[in-house]
Amino acid sequence: MRCPDRILAAFALALLTCAGPVLAAADAVRAEAAAKLKSDLPSLAPADYVLGSAAFDAELRSQLAENANAATTSGVLEAGRAAWTRKFKNGRTLASCFPNGGRRIAGAYPQYDARLKRVVTLETAINQCLKTNAEPLLDIDDGKSMGAVTAYVRSLSQNQKVAVRVPAAAEAAFDQGRRLYTTRMGQQNWACASCHVQGAGKRYAGQPLSPAIGQGASSVVIRGGQAVTLQARVRECLERMGVAPFAAGSDELNNLEYYLTYLSNGLALQASPWRAPRATRG
């Protein structure tokens, strides 16, 4: 069922009725992760989780501040803007596929699409727009194309609160994402949570480990002057775990991103923050 926009805008109650009930269990899962991080890292304000590694390292924190404009100086934002406004053969643009030209929408992604019965990330939505307009799709792993576009769209939502919605119908997708994050797997028998929940703030391969809450709020990252999409970044961790990485854009990674971003609900979206170059090991 589609609700008319003006009803959505005018009545919060109508919004709830129209969009269907939310999954109460999702909130409980987030509260549990938040409580664990809070008790392990009592001195760290939850708002600072979005700093990632830098939350635990003064040197990294000052580098982050020095490189606050990395997305601009690297040319990533300009490349993304050009792709966002480029005219398709039919005269439309990526911007024309999204409400408000894409302003203040990023915090609501990923979304569960009840008609497709799938999670749609911002990257999937961009590719859906290209497909509808008979344009070639972008590779979700590719920082130069998809990474730049997503970085640009996210810059139109800088500091917007992350507000991912998990309707009851999305239970299976959310649950798969949660299981992928919390289940030990691969040759090393690690779970994502081993490093980013239990290990948050500890050092691994010379870097402090970012907390799970905050990761979904601060993507696409700029590393070595290049945009790195969240799923490309997650695939690096999967490789490190000795898990044959799921394809970017697969339901597995979309569901993982859904869960991970939901954990960041309420945090201020950080569009394309700078990250230190990749460590040689890890």
Catalytic residues: 237
Residue number, 150 or 215, with CB nearest to ligand HEC: 215
Handedness of CA 120, 121, 123, 126 (dihedral sign): positive
| Minimum CB–partner distance for residue 196 and ligand HEC (Å) | 6
Tokens representing 118 are 């799938």
Site string for ligand HEC, 238-267 (x = CB under 6 A): x-xx--------------x-----------
Q: Which is nearer to ligand HEC, 124 or 218 (CB)?
A: 218
Residue 4 found at the interface with ligand HEC (CB under 6 A): no
Nearer to ligand HEC, 64 or 125 (CB): 64
Minimal CB distance residue for ligand HEC? 192
**φ, ψ at 225 (rounded to 5°):** 75, 10
Q: How far apart are CA 84 and CA 271, in angstroms?
A: 16
Question: What is the β-pairing status of strands 221-223 and 274-275?
Answer: parallel
83 binds ligand HEC (CB under 6 A): no
Residue among 60, 125, 192, 232 that touches ligand HEC (CB under 6 A): 192
| Contacts for 228 with CB less than 8 Å, ≥ 6 apart | 143, 147, 220, 221, 222, 275
Find residue 207's DSSP bridge partners. Answer: 204
CA distance 34 to 142: 32
Query: Using the rule CB under 6 A, is 218 a contact of ligand HEC?
Result: yes
The residue from 111, 150, 215, 261 that contacts ligand HEC (CB under 6 A) is 215
- Provide the terminal-to-terminal Cα distance of the chain, rounded to the nearest Å: 46
Q: Is 88 in the site for ligand HEC (CB under 6 A)?
A: no
Question: Which residue from 148, 209, 213, 227 is in contact with ligand HEC, where contact means CB under 6 A?
Answer: 209
**Given 29, 30, 53, 95, the residue binding ligand HEC (CB under 6 A):** 53
Show contacts with ligand HEC in window 154-183 (CB under 6 A).
Answer: 181
Q: Using the minimum distance from each CB to ligand HEC, give the nearer residue, 121 or 210.
A: 210
The reply on whether position 127 binds ligand HEC by CB under 6 A is: no
| 129 vs 257 by CB, closer to ligand HEC | 257
User: Cα(38)–Cα(40) distance, rounded to whole angstroms?
Assistant: 6
**Chain center to CA of 163:** 11
Please tell me the count of residues contacting ligand HEC according to CB under 6 A.
26
Break the chain down into helix, strand, coil percent, rounded to 5.
55, 10, 40
Nearest C-alpha neighbor of 27 from the set 170, 219, 160: 170
Nearest residue (CB) to ligand HEC, 163 versus 237: 237
- Does 41 contact ligand HEC by CB under 6 A? no
Q: To the nearest whole angstrom, how small is the minimum distance from the Cβ of residue 46 to ligand HEC?
A: 15
Q: What is the C-alpha to C-alpha distance for residues 220 and 213, in angstroms, rounded to an integer?
A: 15
Measuring CA to CA, which residue among 222, 237, 209 is closest to residue 271? 222
Using CB under 6 A, list all residues that contact ligand HEC.
52-53, 181, 190, 192, 194-196, 204-205, 207, 209-210, 215, 218, 221, 230, 233-234, 237-238, 240-241, 256, 275, 282
